[in-house]
Amino acid sequence: MRNEFCNINVTLPDGRFYGINVWTFRFLTTAVQQDIAEGKPLAGLYLKPPDLFVKELTRECITAAIADLLRTGPLEQALNPSTGPHFPEEGF
């Protein structure tokens, strides 16, 4: 599972909730190729990246990455500071 992507939810004990887009390193190339093949505007010129890149799309790899990010500080600072945490009662 080294050329995949997924969306995960992370809920911390204090109630903060994150929806995180995760891509493998190899999926970046695949995503560019798909844009070119699909003739999307400016095909292959740029891509909006995910929140997190990982070596492989496994629970173990993603869990280790999230745990390490949490050790270094708030998850919202490590991922995408413009999105921040979402609290379930606020909606989406």
Q: CA 83, CA 80: separation in Å to the nearest integer?
A: 6
Q: CA 35, CA 70: separation in Å to the nearest integer?
A: 33
What is the number of domains present in the chain?
1
Percent helix / strand / coil, the chain, rounded to 5: 35, 20, 40
* Local structure of residue 89 (DSSP, 8 states): G
Domain that includes residue 80, residue range: 5-90
Give the predicted TM-score (pTM) of the model.
0.78
What confidence score (pLDDT) does residue 77 get? 83
What confidence score (pLDDT) does residue 87 get? 57
One pLDDT digit (tens) per residue for the chain, 92 residues:
899 999 999 999 999 899 999 999 999 999 999 999 998 888 888 888 899 999 999 999 999 999 999 998 888 888 865 555 555 555 54
